Amino acid sequence: MLTLECPYCGIKADETELAPGGEAHLKRQGPGASDEEFEGYMFARANPKGVHFERWRHAMGCGKWFLAARDTVTLEVYGTYPAQTAAPPKALMEKIEKRQSDRGGK
Amino acid sequence: MSARLEGWGRLIDRSEPLTYSFNGRDLRGYRGDTLASALLAAGQVMQGRSFKYHRPRGPVAAGAEEPNALVNLGQGARFEPDQRATTTELFEGLVAESQNHWPSLDFDVGVVNNALARFLPAGFYNKTFMAPRGAWKHVFEPAIRQSAGLGRAPKAADADRYEHLYAHYDVVVVGGGVAGLTAARAAATSGLRVLVMEQAPHWGGRAPVDGGEIDRLDPEGWVRNVVEELEKAKNVTLRRRMMAAGVYDHGYLIGYERVADHTPLDGRPRHRLWRIRAGRIVTATGAIERPLAFAGNDVPGVMLASAMRDYLVNWGAAVGRRVVVVTNNDDAYRTALAMHEAGREVAAVLDARPLVTGALATRVREAGIRVLEGRAIAKVHGRKGVTGVAVTAQAGAGGAVEEIGCDAVAMSGGWSPVVHLWSHCGGKLVWDEAQALFRPDPSRPPTGADGEGFVVTAGAASGALTLAGALADGHDAGKAAAKAMGGKVTRKAAPKAEPEEAQPILPVWIMPAEAGPELKAKMWLDFQNDVKVSDVELAAREGYESVEHTKRYTTLGMATDQGKLSNINGLAVLSQALGQDIPATGTTTFRPPYTPISMASIAGEARGELFQPLRRSPIHDWHEANGAHWEPVGHWRRPYTYPRGAETLAEAVNREVNNTRANVGLLDASTLGKIVVKGPDAGRFLDMMYTNVMSSLPVGKCRYGLMCSENGFLIDDGVVARLAEDTWLCHTTTGGADRIHGHMEDWLQCEWWDWKVYTANLTEQFAQIGVVGPKARAVLEALGGMDLSKEALPFMHWAEGELAGIPARVFRISFSGELSYEIAVPAGRGRELWDRLVEAGEAHGVMPYGTEALHVMRAEKGFIMIGDETDGTVIPQDLGLNWAISKKKEDFLGKRAQERPHMADPERWKLIGLETLDGSVIPDGAYIVADGVNENGQRNTQGRVTSTYFSPTLGRGIAMALLHRGPERMGEEVEIPVLGAGKAPIRARVVETCFFDKPGAKQDV
């Protein structure tokens, strides 16, 4: 059972307080999108063995949606950040890169 | 015949005798006994029968790994099956029965399976499926169900109390043996919060039984000192009778504390489930001895050498008067010495190793005990008890070289570290060739949120099998765990013990090595599931190369013991059969719980009224006092109907419908979802949420709206009222309020976060009452207050004012087709308004009505209900609701999805009404059949009934259904089969969905 820190209220929340929301940073495809674009948006999801950017809602807490970068194999949480962004923060991406190169070097 | 020895039994208190009953026989034991030790001391070695062949069985172990000695424990509301006698503490008045036998433990009819064993090989269960279809149902299944299975299921509700406890610790040490205590002591010096748990009722683990010296003290004294020291430390919590059941993500740990199993009826909760967040977990879980696979190794009286020693030293229960020890390692020699010291005859030690040189063996020889080198057991004699063994050469095929008479056999095939907790969350193992065991690989631990390993093993659980090694390893583990949590450990040195001079183990997986099929068919690997060497070899021959497949095919390692004794031996035999190394075969997956935990402890206090919180409307008590028949709707309870006198529910519903249509009815609609959406961009936002346009709704008016998911399916509906230029009130279904509020927030927070919109779920802030029927206006006028005339408040408008002195918002909306007002007032005044309406309505024949009358009336009008007409696969177009889908809007949730070809396909099932030809009511969930059959020989279908009721207004059955090309088929007759042999299908005519007042004249007056 995971613990994730809610970036809004700062609470280290147990998974029972949270509701999962699947892959983060999807680009919405509405009317005018091709069948392929819409299918990709609606159904095709990343299932990486490694870093996954995902949506969580602090459902039993402040009610806010936030995003998390989590390793699906090691369960390491590289960080959580507010949902109001189209891409992960730069500092987080650098941290992930560094952690991965450190591990590769071990 | 008592086998209790004076001067032995460190755990029993002879000053406190206890009476208990086994299979109806009253027996005596002592405080400190387990049920198994008490039975052994009473001479009752045979304690159960096996699962498949019903073979007589006695305990083979003395702890949590016991596969055989399972009993039905307790009676009535405290009855529980499959309890291990080896971990059941004795108490006064304990009642136990053995399992898996009929009519008695001593004489069992099912043992006939034993004679038929060669017809019940591995996978016989699966093979029965290959027989003709009828054979399984009529022959195999009834026979298997009759003879297999463990204990009976309890019949009464559990009378005991259970609770959950949440806890956070920096370091949790699992296991209170000397390694665990050493780790705890080291970690505790850092001042961090430390929890130590031990599954047994006593501290110290195996060390007090196995002997040696720790810091110049005997282990028992050393343990006493350390526990005292830890008890004094403020940052340390000690718990006995508590097992770590499972390790989960990010340091989550389940502890299972058997608080009062041994002190029933003392008022404490029976079990406590600890839900622990641990920074680091030290698993000092010890090791479990492995049986040896020789013919007849399951006869009562054959047991693990360590267990025989435990029964003697801990409980003074001697198993056997003349014992043979069979081993491939040094440790079993301790048993030979202990039994010899206790005055029992040790007939011989059979050691599979060709040359025996260890220090322990020397001591055994010096005691005058025969040590036979390179020897094995060819066969155990006896059925319900051991009568002797045939001795053979381990290197041979089983030709007997000697017969030795004995009444017990102590066996040791080496030790396996308990790696379960390490493995639960992904810790990896490595095969230790020298010690012939799998042990945790410290370089591949389970990792936590910080990406670092969060489990450290200590002592025998690491593979450190000597006393000195276990102490050093435990100290390091405690230090490492504390350091990882930022603690500074001040204790520098590990406790000391003398290094032991040991001779290496000789891995022995089959005894003797060249045994033929005859012997292999009697060598048990898994005692609980009756899996033998021959079964695993058969599985390998039949192509089951994966250890996971072999497990499922043979049932090796399944059931309540999860193969604690059998796993390693089983996979070693499989490896041999496949001609590969043991690491290439690998282990099966270790899954929680370590040993079974009670279902009641998982439920905790969440049972009965506490199972789920109940939501009550402000008018709940009135409903209760007026005989409401309740219907659960989400977490709410809503009145289904209010039966009067001897009325049936159906009669009550009919009366409520008729009275509402003729006079006036009251509906408690408080549970309806009420979400306020406010802000400069609120109109734009609602235009995305709803399929129709809400931004154009004038202030003061109401509009019915539909919500779809992004995938195009209808998810909710309701009336939207525009309260102000920048404010809308969205009504949702009762069950949908929280979900729809969450749905809105998701889009607002994650997609259109720059839109200036605020939402609030005000469902519980308002009571809402429907006043419905031709006399509704008259009743409201009698209350006094705001003008509710047709001119002042037309249909589909709302107004704010006062009614009976209560501030109110009145909506003229109708879900029944009648003149209808929905009145929202502050929740705290809902009951007051209801009472005033009941009083004022008396002169007009007012009656409350429940959800069923509401349903009937909406169905008479052809209004859809989310969850009846929709099921997550239905789009508004299927329901003839195209009028509520904007063609002008560029975008709304679901619009792109609904453009997909299969959504626009004219072949879809679409909503129509059904009128039965004979007036009867179609059963719920019925299908409309089409001609012909499908590939499974089932009737083809062309539609399904979504709502069906008796309409008291029309005096006949009415229904709505989704039918293939439905709206194009008005007037056509269709056939609806009814379940039940010989029942004639119902014939119905396809009609429009609105059965009553199609022009809507009654609601717009």
**B937-988 residue pLDDT tens:** 999 999 999 999 999 999 999 999 999 999 999 999 999 999 888 899 999 9
CB B705 within 8 A of CB B716: no
Structure letter (DSSP) for residue B177: B
The type of residue at B789 is S
Report how far apart, in Å, the C-alpha atoms of B93 and of each of B24, B36, B59, B378 are.
12, 15, 22, 43
Phi-psi region of B858 (alpha: psi -120 to 50; beta: other; left: phi over 0): alpha
Q: Nearest residue of B to residue A21 by CA position?
A: B746
Q: Looking at the complex, does the CB of residue B899 fall below 8 Å from at least one CB of chain A?
A: yes
Residues 6+ apart with CB under 8 A from B292: B326, B327, B328, B377, B411, B412, B413, B508, B511
* Chain B interface mutation, best of A76, A85, A101, highest count of B Cβ atoms under 10 Å: A76
Taking the C-alpha atoms of residue B533 and residue B298, their distance in angstroms, rounded to an integer, is 13
pLDDT at B560: 85
Cβ pair B896:A59 closer than 8 A: no
CB B53 within 8 A of CB B62: no
Structure letter (DSSP) for residue B50: -
Which residue matches tokens 């001042």?
B191
The type of residue at B745 is E
Helix (H, G, I), strand (E, B) or coil at B174: strand
pLDDT at B119: 65
Cβ pair A83:B742 closer than 8 A: no
pLDDT at B2: 64
Taking the C-alpha atoms of residue B295 and residue B348, their distance in angstroms, rounded to an integer, is 18
Taking the C-alpha atoms of residue B438 and residue B448, their distance in angstroms, rounded to an integer, is 23
User: Which residues make beta-bridge pairs with B439?
Assistant: B430
pLDDT at B130: 65
Taking the C-alpha atoms of residue B918 and residue B396, their distance in angstroms, rounded to an integer, is 85
pLDDT at B865: 97
Q: Looking at the complex, does the CB of residue A2 fall below 8 Å from at least one CB of chain B?
A: yes
Give 3-state DSSP helix, strand, coil % of chain A, rounded to 5.
Answer: 25, 30, 45
Helix (H, G, I), strand (E, B) or coil at B462: helix
Taking the C-alpha atoms of residue B654 and residue B970, their distance in angstroms, rounded to an integer, is 28
Looking at domain B162-287+417-484, does it have CATH number 3.50.50.60?
A: yes
pLDDT at A103: 77
Helix (H, G, I), strand (E, B) or coil at B230: helix
Regarding the domain with residue range B906-991, which homologous superfamily does it belong to in the CATH classification? Aminomethyltransferase beta-barrel domains (2.40.30.110)
What's the structural domain count of chain A? 1
pLDDT at B402: 96
Q: Nearest residue of B to residue A57 by CA position?
A: B746
CB pairs under 8 A between A and B: 68
User: Which residues make beta-bridge pairs with B173?
Assistant: B196, B282
pLDDT digits (tens, 9 = 90+) for B533-564: 999 999 999 999 899 999 999 989 888 888 89
Taking the C-alpha atoms of residue A35 and residue B893, their distance in angstroms, rounded to an integer, is 16
Q: Looking at the complex, does the CB of residue A62 fall below 8 Å from at least one CB of chain B?
A: no
pLDDT at B492: 82
Q: Which of residues 84-103 of A touch B (CB under 8 A)?
A: 84, 99, 103
Cβ pair B753:A42 closer than 8 A: no
User: Per the omega criterion (within 30 degrees of 0), is the bond before B977 cis?
Assistant: no
Q: Looking at the complex, does the CB of residue A25 fall below 8 Å from at least one CB of chain B?
A: no
DSSP element (H, E) containing B699: none
Q: Give the CATH number, domain containing residue A45.
A: 3.30.2270.10
For domain B673-764, the CATH class is: alpha beta
pLDDT at B131: 64
pLDDT at B573: 96
pLDDT at B834: 98
Across the interface, which of B248, B451, B742 has its CB nearest the CB of A99? B451
Shortest Cα–Cα distance, B968 to chain A (Å): 29
CB B347 within 8 A of CB B377: no
Q: Looking at the complex, does the CB of residue A46 fall below 8 Å from at least one CB of chain B?
A: no
Taking the C-alpha atoms of residue B842 and residue A27, their distance in angstroms, rounded to an integer, is 59
The bridge status of strand B302-304 relative to strand B408-412 is parallel
* Chain B interface mutation, best of A28, A29, A45, A58, highest count of B Cβ atoms under 10 Å: A28
**Sheet of B402-405, strand order:** B375-381, B388-393, B402-405
pLDDT at A18: 97
Q: Looking at the complex, does the CB of residue A58 fall below 8 Å from at least one CB of chain B?
A: no
Helix (H, G, I), strand (E, B) or coil at B220: helix
Residues 6+ apart with CB under 8 A from B885: B691, B692, B706, B876, B877, B898
Shortest Cα–Cα distance, B765 to chain A (Å): 19
Which positions in chain A touch B251 (Cβ < 8 Å)?
Answer: 3
Cβ-in-10-Å burial (0-12, 13-18, 19+) of B840 comes to buried
- ipTM greater than 0.90: yes
Q: Looking at the complex, does the CB of residue A52 fall below 8 Å from at least one CB of chain B?
A: no
Which positions in chain B touch A83 (Cβ < 8 Å)?
Answer: 749-750, 753
Taking the C-alpha atoms of residue B668 and residue B348, their distance in angstroms, rounded to an integer, is 85
User: Per the omega criterion (within 30 degrees of 0), is the bond before A31 cis?
Assistant: no
**Residue ranges per domain, chain B?**
3-125, 162-287+417-484, 673-764, 906-991
For domain B3-125, the CATH class is: alpha beta
Structure letter (DSSP) for residue A2: -
10-residue mean pLDDT profile of chain B (1005 residues): values are 87 98 96 98 92 89 95 93 96 92 70 68 68 69 64 88 97 98 98 98 97 96 98 98 98 98 95 98 98 98 98 97 98 98 97 96 98 98 96 96 97 98 97 97 96 97 97 98 96 91 95 96 94 95 92 89 92 95 93 95 94 94 98 95 97 98 98 98 98 98 98 98 98 96 97 97 98 98 95 97 97 97 98 98 98 98 97 97 96 97 96 97 96 94 98 97 98 95 94 96 90
Q: Which of residues 677-736 of B touch A (CB under 8 A)?
A: 710-711
pLDDT at B115: 67
Taking the C-alpha atoms of residue B801 and residue B786, their distance in angstroms, rounded to an integer, is 6
Which positions in chain A touch B749 (Cβ < 8 Å)?
Answer: 64-65, 83-84
User: Per the omega criterion (within 30 degrees of 0), is the bond before B680 cis?
Assistant: no
Q: Which domain holds residue A69?
A: 3-103
